[in-house]
Amino acid sequence: MLKIFSQEKADFNGKRTLLVIGAVMLATVFLTSMLPSDNAEPGIFSLVPAIFLIIYIFATQRILEALILSSLIGFIMVSRPAVQSGESWIANTFSNFSDGLLNVMMSEDIAWLIIVCGLMGSIISLIEKAGGSYAFGEWIAAKAKTRKSSLMCTWFLGVVVFIDDYLNSLTVGSCMTTLTDKHKVPREFLSYVVDSTAAPLCVVIPISTWAVFCSRILESNGWAPQGEGMLYFIKTIPYNFYGWIAALMVPLVIFGIIPVFGPMKQAFHRVAQGGPLAPAGSEKIDIRAGKNNVVPTNPKMFNLFVPIAVLIISTVIMNFDMQMGVLVTLVYMFISYMWQGVMTAEEFWDVSLEGLKNMMMPILLMILAFLFAEVNEQIHFTYFVITSATKVITPALLPLIVFIALAITEFITGTNWGMYIIALPIVIPLAQNLGADVTLAVSAVLSAGVFGSHICFYSDATVITSSATGCNNFDHAFTQAPYGLLAAAISAIFFLISGFVAN
């Protein structure tokens, strides 16, 4: 009887979901039809997909569905002009959806992401198979004998591996999970510690992939002369308030100076009551899910640190090209592991493919996030938010308003680097025309991008960290959000003060 009732409840929930989705789609069609002409800017209507996304995520905690449906709503809006030419709105919507997905899949960014993230999954699996992670775990367990010391070791390792946020999250998360599990640390808190030393640190250190990318963007937008982009990026480092505050808050939380509060406190309560370390649904994204904990034969830390060192050094030598660094590292690992007899060639390829497969769920999430960002760009979401926020503005308030406006858009889109490409060409000339401090304005843009990377439920940083630490990405972002918002509030105060001091 109970089984029949459960089935009926599931059927009802499914039908209710379909009705809600259908109603939202029809409402979108109605709202879009109210635009005055074929080529009219969506204006405030560009907020509709974003609002639906946030509501759906919090109501269902199903991020994949939310991204797909929100993107579809956006493409309904994009497809509206075709009605005036006699084309089918529905057919044009799905055609644009398909074209958008194809554009995303063919983009250089997604190709890079699939190659780098997929092969990073291979590197991590190979290190684990070779016993590098196990040896490091045993060594660090002998040093870090308390919960706080294990978390500080995690934070310190994150500070050391600053070259790239992907490398940071995947390396630190996969290496430290076993240790923090021994000390009954909720996976949500481990994810917070790992995530807070990834992108936040990369944007305040000039020797990082973020620094190289940002310096090129500053040159391409004319603020920095050609060849001097890095010097101008270094000027922004003292004012990248969110990066500094987010990273430095972690030890304060670990030692209880800033207390555990909000959803994170509930995670600690769950573990204290004998519940699981990871929240429900974490196995879907955990790159180690389903693996047996087999103790490797003759494990050596050498097989962890040398590949990571090769990855960092080769990435720097190859002009901060992470893709080349990953390929060089895999070649080194093949030669080294074959020479040591750690595994056979067949095992090497099998483990590499297993690691690649483990990254499929995170990669899928990021592809859908890029699709959502693609349609937001077509409906001019970011442009609308920036122009609306800066209509009535003074030079002193520009950094604060830019930070708040872009922090909101980044929380919704989670594109960080993509936002830089869109926002900096708007903000730099705006600051110059107003006579505002351009360095502060650029720093506000960079800080907002880090905030989005840090807090967004489906940003690449959130997804990668969640997969490395084995924590459901909704729960990771939800429990981390209060700390990110606290760091953002403090950053906003600094931008307000700095804006008045500079002007």
Q: Residue 456 has what pLDDT? A: 87
Confidence of residue 1 (pLDDT cuts 50, 70, 90): very low
> Are the C-beta atoms of 464 and 210 separated by less than 8 Å?
no
Region of residue 137 (phi > 0: left; psi between -120 and 50: alpha; otherwise: beta):
alpha
Q: Residue 149 has what pLDDT? A: 92
For residue 418, pLDDT over 80 is answered with no
Number of CB atoms found within 10 A of residue 13's CB: 10
> Are the C-beta atoms of 260 and 246 separated by less than 8 Å?
no
Q: Residue 195 has what pLDDT? A: 93
**Averaged confidence pLDDT in the chain:** 84
For residue 35, pLDDT over 90 is answered with no
For residue 114, pLDDT over 80 is answered with yes
Q: Residue 11 has what pLDDT? A: 47
Q: Residue 10 has what pLDDT? A: 45
128: burial class by Cβ within 10 Å (0-12, 13-18, 19+)? buried
Would you call 299 helix, strand, or coil by DSSP? coil
In whole angstroms, what is the distance from residue 416 CA to residue 449 CA? 4
Q: In what helix (H) or strand (E) does residue 308 lie, and over which residues does it extend?
A: helix 302-317
pLDDT, one tens digit per residue, over 130-181 is 888 778 878 887 788 899 999 999 999 888 887 788 888 888 888 888 889 9
DSSP of 381-444, one letter per residue?
HHHHHHHHHTSS--TTTHHHHHHHHHHHHHHHH--THHHHHHHHHHHHHHHHHHT--HHHHHHH
For residue 85, pLDDT over 50 is answered with yes
> Are the C-beta atoms of 153 and 179 separated by less than 8 Å?
yes
User: What contacts 481, CB < 8 A, 6 or more positions away?
Assistant: 262, 263, 455
Please tell me which residue, 93 or 295, carries the higher pLDDT value.
93
User: What contacts 1, CB < 8 A, 6 or more positions away?
Assistant: none
Give the least confident one: 5-19, 212-226, 334-348, 448-462. Answer: 5-19
In whole angstroms, what is the distance from residue 288 CA to residue 308 CA? 19
Q: Which residue has the tokens 């060594």?
A: 139
Please tell me which residue, 97 or 294, carries the higher pLDDT value.
97
For residue 70, pLDDT over 50 is answered with yes
pLDDT, one tens digit per residue, over 373-397 is 888 888 888 888 878 877 768 899 9
For residue 501, pLDDT over 50 is answered with yes
In whole angstroms, what is the distance from residue 295 CA to residue 184 CA? 21
Angle between helical axes of 108-130 and 322-340 (0-180°, round to 10): 20
What predicted TM-score, i.e. pTM, was given to this entire model?
0.82
In whole angstroms, what is the distance from residue 56 CA to residue 463 CA? 18
For residue 196, pLDDT over 50 is answered with yes
Number of CB atoms found within 10 A of residue 449's CB: 31
Confidence of residue 4 (pLDDT cuts 50, 70, 90): very low
For residue 14, pLDDT over 70 is answered with no
In whole angstroms, what is the distance from residue 62 CA to residue 66 CA? 6
In whole angstroms, what is the distance from residue 408 CA to residue 23 CA? 26
In whole angstroms, what is the distance from residue 41 CA to residue 387 CA? 13
Q: Residue 38 has what pLDDT? A: 55
* All structural domains of the chain with their residue ranges: 2-106, 108-221+292-361, 222-287+364-503
For residue 403, pLDDT over 90 is answered with yes
User: What contacts 446, CB < 8 A, 6 or more positions away?
Assistant: 203, 214, 236, 240, 243, 420
Q: Residue 499 has what pLDDT? A: 92
Q: Residue 165 has what pLDDT? A: 84
Confidence of residue 96 (pLDDT cuts 50, 70, 90): confident
Confidence of residue 289 (pLDDT cuts 50, 70, 90): low
In whole angstroms, what is the distance from residue 322 CA to residue 164 CA? 8
In whole angstroms, what is the distance from residue 234 CA to residue 451 CA? 19
